[in-house]
Structures are given as C-alpha cells and as structure tokens.
Amino acid sequence: MYAGLRPIVVEGATGLYNTNYEGKAQAAIDALRTDDFVYLHIEASDEAGHEGDVALKVKTIEYLDSRVVKPIFEEVSKWDEPVTIAVLPDHPTPCSIRTHTAAPVPFIIYRPEQQPDAVLIYDEFEAQKGSYGMLQSQQFMQMLLS
C-alpha cells in the first residue's frame, strides 16, 4: 500500500498450499487490464519451506507454474499491448533450515519483444549465468521497469 498499489481481495486466498491459485491468477489478469503494475504474491512455497516439506515445496512451485504463471502468460500473450512478467521469490526459505535466508534469489523477466538468453533451468545457480547476472538491491526494479 505504501507503494500506491491497491490491495485486491481474492476469495479463497489462504497464504498456504491450498490457496486459490486460479482466483489469484484471474485477479492479476483483471487488474492488468486497468493498472500499469500488478504485484501478485503467492506465499505457498515459503510456507512449505518453513514446514521443511520438500515434496510440498516442489508441488507448490509446480502449482505456481501451471495454475498462475501459465494462465497469465497465455492471456496477456493475446493482448495488443505487451506485458512484462517477472517471476521470483521474495527470499529463500530452504526446507533444510526452515527459515528465511538472505541468499540471492533466481528471477525471470519476460518481455515479448526481448529474445531469451541461453539459461534453460530456473534455479539459484543457473539464473546467475543469465543475461541479467547478479543484481543488487534496487537494480532489479530498475531493470524490470526499464
């Protein structure tokens, strides 16, 4: 709210692995029709990390990919106006220690007019080899909004 973003209430959004993924995706799509910037937060994989449940963490990441990122990407790909999409965690929560760390996070920035780099695996190690390299603090937002 401090950034001037309006909160959007999504029925069934729990912050856990059973959250309403489809409802959150649709709310983001609807907001993108009128707003220049939409921030969508899915807490499920973070919570799985706190539980130390590797299988659940993998499942929540798969859900994010198939039930959120895919439908948003498919919808905005049909639009005349290009939409930039960024996918990243807010921080790592390794299952092995069940708490947050300050380690760098992998990210993807998709722009329809931009050719992808050669990185084919989305993880902490391969992402650093990408065209963005390792960004510090506000560099990510500067890159995203440029």
Is 9 a member of any domain?
no
Q: Cβ of 99: how many Cβ atoms within 10 Å? A: 12
How many domains are contained in the chain?
1
Is 90 a member of any domain?
yes
Quote the domain boundaries for residue 123.
21-145
pLDDT in tens, 12-43: 999 999 999 999 999 999 999 999 999 999 99
pTM of the model: 0.92
Is 6 a member of any domain?
no
Is 1 a member of any domain?
no
Radius of gyration of the chain (CA): 16
Pair 23, 11: CB distance under 8 Å: yes
Give the pLDDT confidence score for residue 28 in this predicted structure.
98
d(Cα 29, Cα 38) in Å, to the nearest integer?
Answer: 9
Is 10 a member of any domain?
no
Pair 75, 29: CB distance under 8 Å: yes
CATH code for the domain in which residue 100 is found:
3.40.720.10
Band of residue 89 on the pLDDT scale cut at 50, 70, 90: very high
Is 36 a member of any domain?
yes
Residue 4 has pLDDT above 90, yes or no: no
Q: Quick one: average pLDDT of 5-18?
A: 94
